[in-house]
A = this chain, B = another copy of it.
Amino acid sequence: MHKIKLPWNSLGLVAVLLALVLFFSVSSEYFFTGVTFRTLANQIPTLTVIAVGMTYVLLIAGIDLSVGSVMALCSAVMGVVIADMGMPLPVAIAAGLVSGLLAGLVNGAVSARWAIPSFVVTLGMLEIARGGAYLVTNSETRYLGSAVEVIGSPIAALGVSPALILAILVVIIAQFVLSKTVFGRYMIAIGTNEEAVRLTGINPVPWKILVFSLCGLLAGLGGVFQLGYLQTADPNAGIGLELSAIAAVVIGGTSLAGGRGSVVNTFIGVLIIAVIQTGLAQMGVSEPSKRIITGAVIIAAVLFDQFREPVGKWLGARLSRE
């Protein structure tokens, strides 16, 4: 009875992803190997969770430019808690996540409460959180070594790291929340017509604050993963990350105007970005070509995705005939 729309919506994106994988596999003998995929698996958790938070923010027609800085702030806090204060990892993680949550809360509270464009508020936070990261670390990278290794190293039984498992869990839960819960509906509704939501007796302000707080929290979680991956707390981490995150979300078809989006597609967007980067690096193409190709593929992916509906229908028809 219910129409399952997702598969055909994701189809264009999956096709782009597969085409890229195919292309790189043909171009580079090393691409289609377990090692490459393990490498990818190490890289994507951070961008994944941050892009999930960004998906929610874009859904309510906001934007969060501060994610890269907030991530750096959170890993800075964790680094200092472990290296300078000698606290155990769980305490550090808690401190990091709380920092992220607070930064997000401020973003949300200021923008929702005073109706200031989130672009401006989070641009301010981009500077503030970066300053904070420099402040707490005194602009010095902290090396943490084995203290944080557990986050990023594969669990023997599963062959994948806790970071990746958590990141995928975040994707699944976030998609579930978006499509099945009251909160998800409210996000879509606020992104579509905030005034209508208000006039239906639902105060959009707390929900918006919640969304930004979650985005901050997920940036913090991204910081945790980054820490596990690099075993280093670097106050300069994540410069420009906001653009990659937004790119992943938008490639995934979420509208910048709000009201429409999918977390799963965001994840495919993250994979597309990661595959392009990895593939080009493995081919060792020159920096100018790398830039030009990356740019062209981003545009092409979205362009191709425009045609996902016709392509989806066509494929759907084919499949059902068989």
Tell whether A291 pairs with B131 under 8 Å between CB atoms, given A114-B303, A124-B299: yes
CB distance from A73 to the nearest CB of B (A): 11
Instruction: Find residues 279-299 in chain A having any chain B CB closer than 8 Å to their own CB.
Output: 287-292, 294-299
A118 closest partner in B (C-beta): B256
Tell whether A116 pairs with B295 under 8 Å between CB atoms, given A243-B65, A243-B123, A287-B134: no
> With A and B bound together, what is the CA distance between A180 and B216 in angstroms?
43
The answer to whether A250 has its CB under 8 Å from any CB of chain B is: yes
A305 closest partner in B (C-beta): B116
Q: Is the interface of A mostly helix, strand, loop or mixed?
A: helix
Partner of A123, one of B121, B247, B287: B247
CB distance from A208 to the nearest CB of B (A): 15
Tell whether A131 pairs with B287 under 8 Å between CB atoms, given A299-B120, A302-B120, A306-B114: yes
The answer to whether A119 has its CB under 8 Å from any CB of chain B is: yes
B295 in contact with A125 (CB, 8 Å) = yes
Contacts of A256 on B, CB cut-off 8 Å? 63, 117, 119
The answer to whether A110 has its CB under 8 Å from any CB of chain B is: yes
Q: Which of A119, A135, A299 has the most CB of B within 10 A?
A: A299
The answer to whether A309 has its CB under 8 Å from any CB of chain B is: no
Given contacts A120-B298, A120-B299, A131-B288, 4 further A-B contacts (CB under 8 A): A110-B299, A120-B302, A126-B243, A131-B289
